[in-house]
A = this chain, B = another copy of it.
Amino acid sequence: MKRLVLKFGGTSVGSIEKIQKVANIIKKRHEEGNEIIVIVSAMFGVTNDLKKKSNSISKNFDSKELDVLLSSGEQISSSLLSGAIIDLGVKARSWMGWQLPILTDGNHTSSQVINIKTEEILNFISGRGVAVIAGFQGVSSNNRITTLGRGGSDLSAVAVAKFFETDSCEIYTDVEGVLTTDPSIHEKAKKIDKISYEEMLEMSSLGAKVMQPISVQASMINDIPVHVRSVFSEKAGTTIISQSEIDYKKVVTGIAYSKNDAKVTLVGVADKPGVAAAIFEPFEKNNINIDMVIQTAASNGKKTDVTFTVKREDLFKTLKLIEKNNQYLNYQKIIHDDKVSKVSIIGAGMISHPGVVYKMFSALGREQINILAISTSEIKISVLIQEDMTQKAVKTLHKKFELD
Chain A residues with CB under 8 Å of chain B are 16, 19-20, 50, 53-54, 56-58, 60-62, 64-66, 68-69, 71-72, 75-76, 78-80, 82-84, 86-87, 93-94, 96, 98-99, 143-145
Do the beta carbons of A79 and B69 come within 8 Å of each other? yes
Q: A65-B93, A75-B68, A75-B75 are in contact. Are A84 and B58 (CB under 8 A)?
A: yes
Q: How far is the CB of A185 from chain B (nearest CB, A)?
A: 37
B69 and A83 contacting across the interface, CB-CB below 8 Å: yes
> Could you give 27 example pairs across A and B, Cβ below 8 Å?
A16-B53, A16-B56, A53-B76, A54-B80, A54-B83, A57-B83, A57-B84, A58-B83, A58-B87, A61-B87, A64-B93, A65-B86, A65-B94, A68-B75, A68-B78, A68-B82, A68-B94, A68-B96, A69-B76, A69-B79, A69-B80, A71-B75, A72-B72, A72-B75, A98-B98, A99-B143, A99-B144
The reply to whether B87 and A57 form a contact with Cβ atoms under 8 Å apart is yes
Whether A57 and B16, one on each chain, are in contact in the complex, defined by CB atoms closer than 8 angstroms, is yes
Is B54 touching A66 in the complex (CB atoms < 8 A)?
A: no
Chain B residues lying within 8 Å of A94, measured Cβ to Cβ, are: 65, 68
- Measured between beta carbons, the chain B residues less than 8 angstroms from A86 are 58, 62, 65
Q: A57-B83, A68-B82, A72-B75 given; name 9 further pairs at CB < 8 Å.
A: A53-B80, A54-B83, A58-B87, A61-B87, A65-B80, A65-B82, A68-B79, A71-B75, A72-B79
Which 3 A-B pairs rank lowest in CB-CB distance, beginning with the nearest? Answer: A68-B79, A69-B79, A58-B87
How far does the alpha carbon of A66 sit from the alpha carbon of B87 in the complex, in Å? 13
- Please indicate the chain B residues that have their CB under 8 angstroms from the CB of A65 in the complex: 79-80, 82-83, 86, 93-94
Distance, CA A98 to CA B71, complexed state (A): 15
State in angstroms the CA–CA spacing of A270 and B72 once bound together: 62
How far is it, in angstroms, between the C-alpha of A61 and the C-alpha of B19 when the chains are bound?
14
Q: Judging by beta carbons under 8 Å apart, are B143 and A57 in contact? A: no
Complex Cα–Cα for A61 and B75 (A)? 16
> Nearest Cβ distance between residue A81 and chain B, in whole angstroms?
9
Complex CA distance for A49 and B266, rounded to whole angstroms: 58
Do the beta carbons of B50 and A76 come within 8 Å of each other?
yes
Q: Report whether A83 and B62 are in contact in the complex, using a CB–CB cutoff of 8 Å.
A: yes
User: In chain B, what residue has the closest Cβ to A88?
Assistant: B58
- Smallest CB separation, A57 vs chain B (Å): 5
Q: Are B96 and A83 in contact, with the CB atoms below 8 A? A: no
